[in-house]
């Protein structure tokens, strides 16, 4: 599967695919007649990259995680620590947003009770 076919078929932006190629992380990606060819394993890795991007990983964090992933089972503890750290950060962000909502709701309530029942 070429880069354009992979982009279209799996709805992966071309810049993500080009980034993936530039990392040189995948020996299975072959250059055939001037075009990269992706196999099923590459698509699985690309799916992981998209997931990491979606959950807020930076480009450098994605690259680091993927390098660890390709090293195999021996890096499971490191990868789990990375995911646990991201989870903790995400929970902190959620709690902060919840506090913001509480404050917004308080201000809305204060306006609604002071001036009638406007929404």
- Domain ranges across the chain: 1-71, 76-119
Name the residue with higher pLDDT: 44 or 99.
Answer: 99
* pLDDT (0 to 100) of residue 27: 55
Give pTM, 2 decimals. Answer: 0.71
Is the four-CA dihedral 35, 31, 19, 12 of positive or negative sign?
A: positive
Cα(82)–Cα(15) distance, rounded to whole angstroms?
A: 24
Three-state secondary structure of 35-82: EEECCHHHHHHHHHHHHHHHCCCCHHHHHHHHHHHHHCHHHHHHHHHH
**pLDDT tens digit sequence for 50-73:** 899 889 999 889 989 998 998 999
Q: Which two tokens stand for residue 6?
A: 């992979």
Using one digit for the tens of pLDDT, what is the confidence trace for 2-54?
778 888 888 888 887 787 777 766 554 566 656 667 778 878 888 888 899 88
Q: Is the pLDDT of residue 111 over 60?
A: yes
The pLDDT confidence band at residue 116, using thresholds 50, 70 and 90, is low
Rounded Cα distance between 37 and 31, Å, is 6
Q: What pLDDT score was predicted for residue 13?
A: 82
pLDDT of residue 25: 60
pLDDT at 23: 74
Distance separating alpha carbons of residues 101 and 107, to the nearest angstrom: 10
* CATH no. of 1-71: 1.10.1660.10
Q: For residue 26, give the DSSP letter.
A: -
């Amino acid at each position: 599967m070429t880069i354009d076919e992979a982009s279209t078929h799996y709805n992966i932006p071309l810049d993500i695919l080009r980034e993936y190629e530039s990392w040189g992380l995948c020996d299975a990606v072959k250059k055939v007649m001037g075009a990269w060819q992706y196999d099923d394993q590459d698509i699985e890795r690309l799916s992981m990259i998209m997931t990491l991007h979606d959950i807020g990983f930076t480009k450098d964090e994605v690259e680091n995680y993927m390098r660890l992933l390709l090293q195999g089972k021996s890096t499971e503890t490191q990868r789990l620590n990375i995911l646990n750290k991201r989870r903790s950060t995400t929970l902190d962000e959620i709690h902060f947003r919840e506090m913001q909502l509480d404050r917004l709701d308080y201000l809305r309530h204060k306006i609604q009770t002071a001036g009638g029942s406007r929404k």
